[in-house]
Chain A
């Protein structure tokens, strides 16, 4: 299906670290091209602030778009017209005075109209020489056009209208109703020709209901979807991505009747999968088959058993093939496995497919899974849409166990599933049915951090000793493949531990990284700095280096979005400390035990006065990575409250 290749090329056109340009374009985003902007109403002119959104610097008064699907019978392109009116409410809102529109040779920018209406009611048309088009890539012919509104002050109204054209039938991004500014009205109108069948899908994240109108239009159907009075998307820490927080709506073309025949489009996963797997991926895999086969065999020479062979091939693709930037699950029509092997460079999907081709060369079967990084938004399994997915991994079996292969992160081993994929929906296009599946989640306890610190206070009141830190699972993965070499790793860890142990010199640090076992082990020496030694008093936070601070400062009734963290995990730390005769323990924090729905925290002090030995054992566990709803939020907040409070406590010794 050539249309999909076109979409891929559209995406690749934004070659240089583009934000999701489709969304960016939409973010700026009317009805058919009008000659004049609607008159500013008295209510719009008099609006000074929003009762339902205090603190807003500006407000989108309306953001209307009209998306007309390509009509092959009329030889008309797909077209999106966006019209937006923004009111500046405060001095800080003037930053909304430059708007950007991303476009390319595939997504072509048509007319633009823009004007400022000053608080005094004067209309100032944005002159052409204040609309700047910046070249983003000459080869891809990709651009960003920046509209610079004149005379923008508090009280100004900014009107913008532009149109975009493209040849494809598809528009696979949902319309996002919420913005980072509050929105009084957001509306999208879809106009589809009669010969196109579509599915609609929408999700509301605010109490307001979609207002949907469906009407017959000349030669087709018109569907209007609107929402009103939407608050700005909150900027809260550890939240879900914007796309999940916004109310959204989309239309997916499922069938087209053309020249007397019916062509299935995105009707179900089977169709979508066939398009990609049969028409795209298999073509990619066929390329330079002889070279690929030769390479696969060469790589596995001497390796016995499937695991050993997979590890050899996986290691090669992960380490020796550079990862280029890519978009979603698309591959270029003019590239194949041989090209990627020759260049030793490919997009994440190309690398994954090369891995599949090399495994196939040694007769190891692996299925491609489309996966969605949850940081970029979740998958809606009822809507067969390849644009939900951020990449591809492989699924194979080793000794009867399902094993995932993701060669696009240098810290991944055979079997590593990135934390951001865990618990998400994936699609296996090689299956004939039940393509959508849930990816598993590692038990949080396996993402462990274990610290052991042994210190002694000397006669002068100086602390010194040693420590170790062992990381496993995702807790290790986040540090694997990060550093260029061991020296760099040691340098970085020394810096980190120096921050974790203020007043100490960290030395003789050794790091052992084991990607295959997903572990990181550190050994280090600690010596209290001379400047830090008080002579008659020693105080120490016993939870270091795994101490916590409270990231959730708002009470539950004020938190507006659910919490999403990287992964659940557990910490165990032990501090042992001895002190000399003549010194005494002056202050010992209380033991603590907390167990709640979000996790547990416990700290126990054991003192042996006879041997002048103290042992502190601390455990912290976070049972999940998602906390949705007020109760769940309060649970995770309480957990961190307890942990941060007690981790701030210190043990104190004095020399009377």
Chain B
């Protein structure tokens, strides 16, 4: 809904929350026809606004009846309903206003959020018929948190025959940005017109039904972002957040107690950093409660410390205060937790952010700068800032989950110019599958010993299972993973262990036996890091969103007598997107088959997809070619 922002309350544990809200809110992309979609936004001189949304929908088939059975209007403490009416017109043209019993109201927090002040007015017509129409007319008074707004231009993906969005501002000139049209296949982009005075914006057009995006495509919803008044830059957004945070009480006895724990960890910065992160992550559990501006304003750190729970911003503020007391410069960093969508860098506003993490100034502190803070290689450092997500429950300060990697973070450093947009690094080597297999063919069976090591997010999830799952359930999942590499194998010995500290690691060792199997039928494990070729075909012309990661597979095959080694082979593909390497060699009767695959980046714009394809083809072809052990040349 227009102007609706979600606040910062996300946890890396619930990245789908927004999607779930979206799917609940209304009908999915479909073939019903919106005859007319009109939005009128009037921004008053004081920055408050009134938004009117009028919608006429033609119900053409049974599926459309199903989809339009509920129409939801989002409301909150800063979005108050002025009026809401709805009518249905039956197939014969008779118009009837929906009664009070056809309206309901509900609160919905969304997954991962315990409670929120967000509520919905729901229209639920008793009767709908094919050939009939629905008309909605809703007016909402909004007290925006920031002088900007966003309107989903095609909220449910249906065909829109007539679109008209008008924004009028009495609070200064308007700026706008229309997104989601450049990167979709249809050419139904509406036209925007800004008045000479710059205070009136009109968007008109008609929109074709929105097709489901390809699986790999970065999400780019059709949005009209607009803002009014003096031009805003990222420091202005940072100031906006600083102002909100400045109203939060600092200090308190429960915070003092935690700070003492941190200081007691030792005089060196590494011990203190480790302890502070440990406190924020493990002593404070993730629970999100957002009421009104509380979606953006963190709870006082002392309150978070005393109740032992908080959401991302609460945990972040607590960590910041602990780190500052331990001598660090630590600041809040607004970010988008999303693997498929990024913020609009050229349209500064807080509304694209949905998460808050911590940036610690490590410039001058690391060994390479002459300091003592050794974070090891692969730490999530960019522009001198170490980024820490206190909602993570595994890993050290030097491990950052991939939900925020390669995203832009707004580091709020305070002061007039205190806002720095920093692109977070990608850390593919910290998201790795590392496999080592020893294959020993015997007269009756092939014996295989496997050491499988997961690093990063998968390891994190498995390691957490060690403390949450019956070992047999975990064993079932591990066996399933092993059988994907060696179908039909019986698993004789199986041990596993995990480590949640440092870089999350989960290791599996297994002895497998493939009875009645021929070496020639054996497919040695090959990586599948890069996208399937058909998925790359589908995303052509669009930006692909992927998760940076790495795979390293090593197989040592003890060649039995009577068989000949396969030809040595060395292949590699190295592009800006990553690399793929395959090496097959034989020495002392042992065939070594090694694969290395790394995907460097999360975002792959259309003009770089070829680099990705090159890697995908190399990986695919390597997996297709078999090893031959016959001595017939």
Residues of A at the B interface (CB closer than 8 Å) are 15-16, 53-57, 90-95, 97-98, 130, 132, 134-140, 146, 148, 150-153, 231-232, 234-237, 319-320, 322, 324, 342-345, 484, 498-499, 502-503, 505, 529, 531-532, 534, 537, 539, 549-550, 553-554, 558, 560, 586-587, 589, 641-642, 644-650, 652, 654, 656
Q: Which residue of chain B has the shortest Cβ distance to A554 in the bound complex? A: B476
Kindly supply a per-residue 1/0 record for chain B positions 452-492, scoring 1 wherever the CB is within 8 Å of any chain A CB and 0 otherwise. 00000000000010111111111110011001100110000
Least CB distance from B55 to A in Å reads 20
Q: Do A55 and B480 have beta carbons less than 8 Å apart? A: no
B94 in contact (CB, < 8 A)? no
Q: Do A97 and B287 have beta carbons less than 8 Å apart? A: yes
Kindly supply a per-residue 1/0 record for chain B positions 158-195, scoring 1 wherever the CB is within 8 Å of any chain A CB and 0 otherwise. 00000000000000000000000000000000000000
Residues of B at the A interface (CB closer than 8 Å) are 30-31, 62-63, 65-66, 69, 101, 103-109, 114-115, 119, 126-130, 282-283, 285, 287, 289, 306-309, 393, 464, 466-476, 479-480, 483-484, 487-488, 517, 520-521, 523, 532-534, 617, 620-621, 624-626, 628, 633
Measured in the bound complex, the distance between the Cα atoms of B474 and A502 in whole Å is 30
Measured in the bound complex, the distance between the Cα atoms of B162 and A325 in whole Å is 33
Least CB distance from B215 to A in Å reads 9
Q: Do A322 and B104 have beta carbons less than 8 Å apart? A: no
Q: Do B624 and A57 have beta carbons less than 8 Å apart? A: no
Q: Do B466 and A589 have beta carbons less than 8 Å apart? A: no
Give the residues in chain A near B633, CB-CB below 8 Å.
656
Task: Kindly identify which residue among B114, B620, B626 contacts A652, using a CB–CB cutoff of 8 Å.
Answer: B626
Task: Kindly identify which residue among B115, B464, B521, B624 contacts A589, using a CB–CB cutoff of 8 Å.
Answer: B521
Residue of B30, B31, B483, B628 most packed against chain A (CB within 10 A): B483
Give the residues in chain B near A645, CB-CB below 8 Å.
487-488, 517
Given A150-B308, A152-B309, A343-B127, A234:B532 Cβ within 8 A: no
Least CB distance from A582 to B in Å reads 16
Q: Which residue of chain A has the shortest Cβ distance to B102 in the bound complex? A: A139
Least CB distance from A456 to B in Å reads 18
Q: Which residue of chain B has the shortest Cβ distance to A504 in the bound complex? A: B534
Measured in the bound complex, the distance between the Cα atoms of B287 and A324 in whole Å is 34
Give the residues in chain A near B65, CB-CB below 8 Å.
322, 344-345
Least CB distance from A603 to B in Å reads 13
Additional pairs, 15, CB under 8 Å, beyond known A92-B393, A532-B624, A550-B483: A15-B104, A55-B470, A55-B471, A57-B467, A135-B105, A137-B104, A139-B104, A236-B473, A343-B127, A498-B534, A534-B624, A586-B628, A587-B521, A648-B487, A648-B488
Q: Which residue of chain A has the shortest Cβ distance to B394 in the bound complex? A: A91
Q: Do B468 and A93 have beta carbons less than 8 Å apart? A: yes
Least CB distance from B2 to A in Å reads 23
Task: Kindly identify which residue among B101, B103, B621 contacts A534, using a CB–CB cutoff of 8 Å.
Answer: B621
Q: Do B475 and A558 have beta carbons less than 8 Å apart? A: yes
Given A135-B106, A554-B479, A130:B285 Cβ within 8 A: no
Give the residues in chain A near B523, CB-CB below 8 Å.
648, 650
Q: Do B470 and A503 have beta carbons less than 8 Å apart? A: no
Least CB distance from A335 to B in Å reads 10
Least CB distance from A556 to B in Å reads 12
Q: Do A553 and B479 have beta carbons less than 8 Å apart? A: yes
Given A91-B467, A553-B479, A97:B474 Cβ within 8 A: no
Measured in the bound complex, the distance between the Cα atoms of B308 and A148 in whole Å is 10
Least CB distance from A560 to B in Å reads 7
Q: Which residue of chain A has the shortest Cβ distance to B66 in the bound complex? A: A322
Give the residues in chain A near B309, CB-CB below 8 Å.
97, 148, 150, 152
Least CB distance from B24 to A in Å reads 8
Given A136-B106, A148-B114, A319:B62 Cβ within 8 A: yes
Give the residues in chain A near B521, CB-CB below 8 Å.
587, 589, 649-650
Q: Do B129 and A344 have beta carbons less than 8 Å apart? A: yes
Measured in the bound complex, the distance between the Cα atoms of B626 and A237 in whole Å is 33
Measured in the bound complex, the distance between the Cα atoms of B583 and A362 in whole Å is 76
Given A343-B126, A344-B65, A53:B470 Cβ within 8 A: yes
Residue of B105, B129, B285 most packed against chain A (CB within 10 A): B285
Q: Do B106 and A16 have beta carbons less than 8 Å apart? A: yes
Q: Which residue of chain B has the shortest Cβ distance to A343 in the bound complex? A: B127
Measured in the bound complex, the distance between the Cα atoms of B585 and A325 in whole Å is 62
Q: Do A153 and B307 have beta carbons less than 8 Å apart? A: no
Given A132-B289, A534-B621, A641:B468 Cβ within 8 A: no
Given A139-B101, A539-B626, A344:B285 Cβ within 8 A: no
Give the residues in chain A near B129, CB-CB below 8 Å.
344
Give the residues in chain A near B617, CB-CB below 8 Å.
531
Q: Do B473 and A235 have beta carbons less than 8 Å apart? A: yes
Task: Kindly identify which residue among B106, B285, B470, B479 contacts A234, using a CB–CB cutoff of 8 Å.
Answer: B470
Given A53-B470, A152-B285, A484:B626 Cβ within 8 A: no
Q: Which residue of chain B has the shortest Cβ distance to A547 in the bound complex? A: B487
Measured in the bound complex, the distance between the Cα atoms of B620 and A92 in whole Å is 39
Task: Kindly identify which residue among B30, B62, B476, B628 contacts A320, using a CB–CB cutoff of 8 Å.
Answer: B62
Measured in the bound complex, the distance between the Cα atoms of B470 and A236 in whole Å is 11
Given A503-B620, A531-B617, A554:B66 Cβ within 8 A: no
Task: Kindly identify which residue among A136, A153, A654 contacts B308, using a CB–CB cutoff of 8 Å.
Answer: A153
Give the residues in chain A near B101, CB-CB below 8 Å.
139
Least CB distance from B386 to A in Å reads 23
Task: Kindly identify which residue among B63, B106, B474 contacts A137, using a CB–CB cutoff of 8 Å.
Answer: B106
Report 20 cross-chain contacts, Cβ distance below 8 Å, ordered by A residue: A54-B470, A55-B468, A55-B470, A92-B464, A92-B468, A132-B115, A134-B115, A135-B107, A139-B105, A234-B472, A320-B62, A320-B130, A484-B31, A553-B480, A554-B472, A558-B475, A644-B487, A644-B488, A648-B488, A650-B626
Measured in the bound complex, the distance between the Cα atoms of B621 and A165 in whole Å is 66
Give the residues in chain A near B466, CB-CB below 8 Å.
55
Least CB distance from B610 to A in Å reads 13
Q: Do A641 and B488 have beta carbons less than 8 Å apart? A: yes
Least CB distance from B245 to A in Å reads 22
Measured in the bound complex, the distance between the Cα atoms of B633 and A532 in whole Å is 24
Residue of A137, A146, A498, A645 most packed against chain B (CB within 10 A): A645
Measured in the bound complex, the distance between the Cα atoms of B627 and A341 in whole Å is 67
Q: Do B480 and A146 have beta carbons less than 8 Å apart? A: no
Q: Do B620 and A151 have beta carbons less than 8 Å apart? A: no
Task: Kindly identify which residue among A146, A234, A502, A587 contacts B473, using a CB–CB cutoff of 8 Å.
Answer: A234
5 closest residue pairs by CB, A with B: A645-B488, A553-B479, A151-B308, A132-B115, A90-B467
Q: Do A151 and B106 have beta carbons less than 8 Å apart? A: no
Least CB distance from A656 to B in Å reads 8
Give the residues in chain B near A135, CB-CB below 8 Å.
105-107, 119
Q: Do B464 and A54 have beta carbons less than 8 Å apart? A: no
Give the residues in chain B near A646, CB-CB below 8 Å.
488
Give the residues in chain A near B621, CB-CB below 8 Å.
531-532, 534
Task: Kindly identify which residue among A90, A138, A148, A558 contacts B287, using a CB–CB cutoff of 8 Å.
Answer: A148
Q: Do B464 and A484 have beta carbons less than 8 Å apart? A: no
Measured in the bound complex, the distance between the Cα atoms of B423 and A413 in whole Å is 56
Measured in the bound complex, the distance between the Cα atoms of B41 and A281 in whole Å is 51
Give the residues in chain B near A98, CB-CB below 8 Å.
114, 287
Residue of A91, A537, A641, A642 most packed against chain B (CB within 10 A): A91
Give the residues in chain A near B66, CB-CB below 8 Å.
322
Q: Do B127 and A345 have beta carbons less than 8 Å apart? A: yes
Measured in the bound complex, the distance between the Cα atoms of B65 and A558 in whole Å is 48
Q: Do A138 and B105 have beta carbons less than 8 Å apart? A: yes
Measured in the bound complex, the distance between the Cα atoms of B107 and A600 in whole Å is 53
Q: Which residue of chain B has the shortest Cβ distance to A100 in the bound complex? A: B114
Give the residues in chain A near B104, CB-CB below 8 Å.
15, 137-140
Q: Do A134 and B626 have beta carbons less than 8 Å apart? A: no
Measured in the bound complex, the distance between the Cα atoms of B467 and A16 in whole Å is 33
Q: Which residue of chain A has the shortest Cβ distance to B617 in the bound complex? A: A531
Q: Do B467 and A550 have beta carbons less than 8 Å apart? A: no
Given A132-B289, A498-B534, A553-B483, A539:B127 Cβ within 8 A: no
Measured in the bound complex, the distance between the Cα atoms of B523 and A647 in whole Å is 13
Give the residues in chain A near B283, CB-CB below 8 Å.
153
Q: Which residue of chain B has the shortest Cβ distance to A645 in the bound complex? A: B488
Least CB distance from A12 to B in Å reads 13
